[in-house]
Amino acid sequence: MKESRRAVALASAGALVASLMLGVSSASQSSAGTWCSSVKISYFKGGTADSFSDILEKGARQAAADTGANVTIISSGWNFPKMVQQFKEEIIKKPDAISFMGHPGDAAILGAAKDAKKAGILVDFSNVPAKRSIKELNAGFVGANLSKMGAALADRAVKDFGIKRGDKAIVVGSFGVKGRSDREDGVVKTLRAKGIEVTELNLQSIGGEVAGNPNLLTPSLTAAIKAAGAGLKLLVSEGSLLGATKTYFDAAGLKPGQVKVAGFDVGADVLAAFASGYVQLTADQEPFKQGYYPIISLCLQKVYGLAASSVDTSAGFVTVDNYKIVAALPKGFR
């Protein structure tokens, strides 16, 4: 009798689960690609046409396809003042939501962020945090923990390349912008704590277009390399500049591997630099997620009233030992 009742109970439970799953499946299928179709979102991709920002855009467009959201892509050429101006212009247009980047820093962003809040526009941040603005808006952030990422890259470079106290390093980055430079600051602080002599090459002094035109870095970096001399053991760079390492080495008369190169981001150009021996280590922050998740988060907030989401995309390292595995993955996602 007990066995009979147990069998009936199990059968009933199974039927209930099957019914619930069918309902979920049916609801998912009927709303796929349409559930956020009434929401207008402005998404800032940072660059205009480079391997990193193009992956950001790919992620945002995929999220738009999956949700039905009306997503407008904003390109800024990695020009921070232009980015702020475009932010203000988008607020005037009054979309439902904006996914913005924190590169210009809170001093430049906070006023506009408050204006967006007054206008009832949802704002989340990606790639680089603007901590005061995020707090003011109770906003989400999708991107890497930049300070920890920078420190981890420096530790890994020292270990992998056998860099010793008294060796020299050049670190390229946009120093002096709180939040934006946390990554490079983490590298510099960690290297100096190990007794390594660091030269900071500040992209702010070169111009806002350098990330979109890596050749603009050539004169300054070549001069820094020659000034460092034979003691130079490490170069740390980022994005499209990392992918252009061959250009800088050719200008400075260096051969692949003569100075070890580490940096941030993965793209077709960076993977090609691995294959040719110019790059040995990079930290991957998976930009596809930084394009995809902000759209999902903003849709969930606008449509269902859910809280903003924050996602740490610090995934790990690409090295000379695993870059071929990454290169063999579907194109356009790393």
pLDDT at residue number 32: 66
Question: Cα separation of 173 and 51, whole Å?
Answer: 18
What tens digit of pLDDT does each residue of 126-170 get?
Answer: 999 999 999 999 999 999 999 999 999 999 999 999 999 999 999
pLDDT higher than 70, residue 73 = yes
Chain centroid to Cα 273, Å, comes to 20
Consecutive H or E run containing 323: helix 323-327
What tens digit of pLDDT does each residue of 262-282 get?
Answer: 999 998 899 999 999 999 999
The beta-strand segments (E) located in the chain are 40-46, 70-75, 97-101, 122-126, 141-143, 168-173, 197-202, 232-238, 260-264, 281-284, 311-312, 316-319
Please indicate whether residue 320 or residue 80 has the higher confidence score (pLDDT).
Answer: 320
Question: Cα separation of 302 and 184, whole Å?
Answer: 35
What tens digit of pLDDT does each residue of 196-211 get?
Answer: 999 999 998 887 678 7
What tens digit of pLDDT does each residue of 97-111 get?
Answer: 999 999 999 999 999
What is the average pLDDT score of the chain? 89
Residue 203: HSE in the Cβ half-sphere, 13 Å Cα cutoff = 28
Question: Cα separation of 200 and 246, whole Å?
Answer: 20
Question: For residue 311, what is the DSSP state?
Answer: E
pLDDT at residue number 319: 97
Global pTM reads: 0.79
Question: Cα separation of 244 and 160, whole Å?
Answer: 22
Residue 216 backbone phi and psi in degrees, to 5: -65, -20
